[in-house]
Amino acid sequence: MPRPLLALSLLLLTAGLARAEEPHRHSEHAHGEALAAHEHGIAQLNLALDGEILEIEFASPATNLVGFEHAARNDAERARVAEVRARLEQPLDLFGVPSAARCRVREHSLHGALFEPAGAGGQEHSEIEARYRLQCSAADALQGLNLAALFGTFPATQKIQVQLIGPRGQQGLELSPERSGLTF
């Protein structure tokens, strides 16, 4: 699938997720920007597997990952933000990518007000977003992922809403600490 088509597919999946039934959520206003909503304890994961390429997009309220959403106020909070950044920079372990698939990270990016210089993260309800592009030289061994390490590392994450595109088409599912595996 050409990269623009892959991006369009992920966009369509995300739009479908946004139309899903919505429980009570916190919303934020920032300088007249559109409303952004999130629910504590719940994260979103979009996956697209196309040949040797696995695209991962993970988004979560900051409180699920670091325990707070305000700009780090002291050394302990700054250390926690640095620790979370370091864990998010290790997607192969965090997302349970099987070593037999021989995947390597080709691109990654982390976004969120907590990762900005001091004073830039003044939002009350901030998000953390991570994007990865993996190349897997033995993609046939990539039958699924197990997110047990993610749930163990970030225990405030209670559910992950997953949208994926893989060899069997599009799927939507919900993962939890008790049900942390998915198949492509």
pLDDT grade, residue 117 (50/70/90)? confident
The amino acid occupying position 21 is E
Least confident interval from 2-16, 41-55, 74-88, 160-174: 2-16
Q: What is the mean pLDDT of the chain?
A: 83
CA distance 28 to 165: 30
Classify 41 as helix, strand or coil: coil
The amino acid occupying position 83 is E
Least confident interval from 3-12, 32-41, 154-163: 3-12
Q: What's the length of the chain?
A: 184
**Whole-structure pTM value:** 0.80
By DSSP bridging, strand 169-175 and strand 181-183 are: unpaired
Classify 19 as helix, strand or coil: coil
pLDDT over 60 at 119, yes or no: no
Least confident interval from 20-24, 69-73, 127-131: 20-24
Residue 114: alpha-carbon gap to chain centroid:
15
Q: Which residue has the higher pLDDT, 36 or 165?
A: 165
Please compute the mean of the pLDDT values over residues 106-133 and round it to a whole number.
83
pLDDT over 60 at 107, yes or no: yes
CA distance 172 to 12: 12
